[in-house]
Amino acid sequence: MLATRPPCRRIGSNFLRFASKHSSDPKKPRPRLARPPKAEHPPDRWNYNASSLLEVDAKTQAELAAYPLVDANALEKGTTSPRQAKMLVRDWIEDSLYNPHYGYFPKQAVIFDTEDTAFDFPSLRNSIDFEEEIAQRYAAYGADKHYGPGRQIWHTPTELFKPWYGIAMAKCLVAEYLLKYFPYEDFVIYEIGAGNGTLAMNILDYLRSNHPEVYDRTRYHIIEISASLVELQRKKLSAIHPCVKVEHQSIFRWQKKEPSPCFVVAMEVIDNFAHDMIRYDLTTLEPLQALVTVDDRGDYDFIYTPISDPLIASFLKLRTRLAHPPAIPRLLRAAPALLRAYAALPFAPNLSQPEYIPTRLLSLLRTLRTHFPRHRLLLSDFSSVPDAIPGRCAPVVQTRFRNTTVPVTTLLVAQGYFDIFFPTDFERLRDMYEHTLAQPAGADAFSSAHLAADYFSSYHPSTRRRPVEGVNSASGLPVGERKSSVFSHTQFLQTYADLSQTRLKNGQNPMLEFYENVKFLF
């Protein structure tokens, strides 16, 4: 099943052992890397990941803890991976994926593109034929070199099922726009991370052909962090659809305020948002934040310190308020005596399992509240992923080697050659999103708009948000938007997609069946 996408990352001795052990063809020779040039340290230390089974002596621990704390913003200025430094896990992931000099997306990732041709679904007998068609188009990218990481190609439903997938998104958005805002407001769309620009092209082509009166009032903004994709999107879209404006910027640095009603689209984006890692001390239940250390030889390790990062602390406070439990068994949390007995067992761990928390996702929600106060969010991504590394809400870390996608079992892999992507708990995301939007943008939570909304009735429907301050409906009274809902991939497409266009001869429909681990928030 095409539930995940092939990613990439630099490979060391741990990877080679994994690749040889799990080779799909036992007759093939063990994979090897080209012998590295002579270096100051022994070859077997090149990109070596320290084993968690080995104890680190106190002197080494003190040296690691004394390294300067850096973040992804500071690391952007460097042209090589950091040494003798420590950073939060989210900065480690962000630097690995997005550093402009050696990051995975700027330097390695290629989005699968069928260019101007789409699959002729009604002519294919079954899903096996469809997968063979995909394999043939992958083969057009060329074979991987045998001595190192291969071409990092990954696919999205937008590309595989174009234009029908994009048309389904267009129908969803335009239905909401026609119901609420036409003809008094422009149709304003912001897409975060537009990839090859295919979704934007499909949406705008549909509007121009089926809703020309809406197309004339459309403003389509793309917020894109990758310089190469910015160039591709401008080249692909600007001449055909002049309403498109591509902004080369990270959404986390966005400072412009959009006062108009708008739609924010994020398709297959948040899975690559950096997460932090926390673990709990099983004797005190104190949460600890994880930091990645990189020594002078480029070896990686984790150290754990009490929570000091404001974003992590803010997330944990929000989670407590929303009654989302941590990754500790409920009985251990409820019974201190049982916890003490558990901690006293021979070989019992002193820390809970790793838990990956979506701190960057929380940053996005706050950005939406502050800079897009009248937005409606359409978001889709993985709700679960196979082959994840150990831990709760843990990511898949994988690369493409000799034309095969290979997952690894650790986050501590060399930067720039591995995709790192996370599942999203959509029910928790919905709770976080609605709670964040309910908070006032300013310090005054009891503005005149809020008072006006409650003047005639103290009842406010639980399915609707509080009104935006200073924004009135056509009747002159402030009105809240309806709250967002979570949909399965199948539910959403059965509502908005023309499924006859992607149905195969035997009745199978890969657009519904190939992404069962995807959900929507709208």
Classified as helix, coil or strand, 280 is strand
**Is 358 a member of any domain?**
no
**Is 313 a member of any domain?**
no
Write out the two tokens for 452: 């006006």
CATH number at residue 507: 3.40.50.150
**Is 324 a member of any domain?**
no
Which residues are bridge partners to 357 per DSSP?
276
Do 36 and 125 belong together in one domain?
A: yes
Q: Are strands 486-488 and 396-401 parallel, antiparallel or unpaired?
A: unpaired
Q: Tell which residue, 180, 219, 227, 220, has the closest CA to residue 199.
A: 220
How far is the C-alpha of 380 from the C-alpha of 322, rounded, in Å?
22
DSSP 270: G
Do 201 and 132 belong together in one domain?
A: no
Do 370 and 402 belong together in one domain?
A: no
pLDDT top residue among 409 and 154: 409
Do 257 and 166 belong together in one domain?
A: yes
Q: Which domain holds residue 163?
A: 158-271+363-383+425-441+481-521
At 64-109, the pLDDT tens digits run 888 999 999 999 888 888 999 999 999 999 999 999 998 888 877 6
Looking up tokens 């995709």 gives 419
Do 186 and 108 belong together in one domain?
A: no
Report whether pLDDT(149) > 70.
Answer: no
Do 55 and 140 belong together in one domain?
A: yes
How far is the C-alpha of 440 from the C-alpha of 357, rounded, in Å?
24
Q: Is the peptide bond before 31 cis (omega within 30 degrees of 0)?
A: no
- The count of residues in the chain is 522
| Residue 141: pLDDT band with limits 50, 70, 90 | low
Residue 349 CB partners (closer than 8 Å, separation 6+): 282
Write out the two tokens for 6: 């092939």
**Is 461 a member of any domain?**
no
How far is the C-alpha of 43 from the C-alpha of 183, rounded, in Å?
67
**Is 318 a member of any domain?**
no
Do 173 and 129 belong together in one domain?
A: no
Residue 308 CB partners (closer than 8 Å, separation 6+): 289
How far is the C-alpha of 70 from the C-alpha of 68, rounded, in Å?
6
**Is 305 a member of any domain?**
no
Do 123 and 100 belong together in one domain?
A: yes
| Residue 228: pLDDT band with limits 50, 70, 90 | confident
Classified as helix, coil or strand, 362 is helix
How far is the C-alpha of 174 from the C-alpha of 168, rounded, in Å?
10
Do 377 and 247 belong together in one domain?
A: yes
How far is the C-alpha of 418 from the C-alpha of 408, rounded, in Å?
9
Report whether pLDDT(15) > 50.
Answer: no
Write out the two tokens for 168: 């389904």
Q: CA angle, 453 as apex, 447 and 458 as ends, to 5°?
A: 110
**Is 308 a member of any domain?**
no
Total domains present in the chain: 2
Distances from the Cα of 83 to the Cα of 68, 86, 91, 138, 318, angstroms: 10, 9, 14, 36, 34
Whether 260 and 376 have beta carbons less than 8 Å apart is answered as: no
**Is 176 a member of any domain?**
yes
Average pLDDT over residues 372-376: 95
At 384-433, the pLDDT tens digits run 999 999 999 999 999 877 777 889 999 999 888 899 999 999 999 999 99
Do 162 and 93 belong together in one domain?
A: no
How far is the C-alpha of 1 from the C-alpha of 131, rounded, in Å?
9
pTM (predicted TM-score):
0.81
Do 135 and 179 belong together in one domain?
A: no
How is 283-327 classified by DSSP, letter by letter? TT--EEEEEEEE-TT--EEEEEEE---HHHHHHHHHHHHTT---S
Write out the two tokens for 434: 């609605």
Do 248 and 373 belong together in one domain?
A: yes
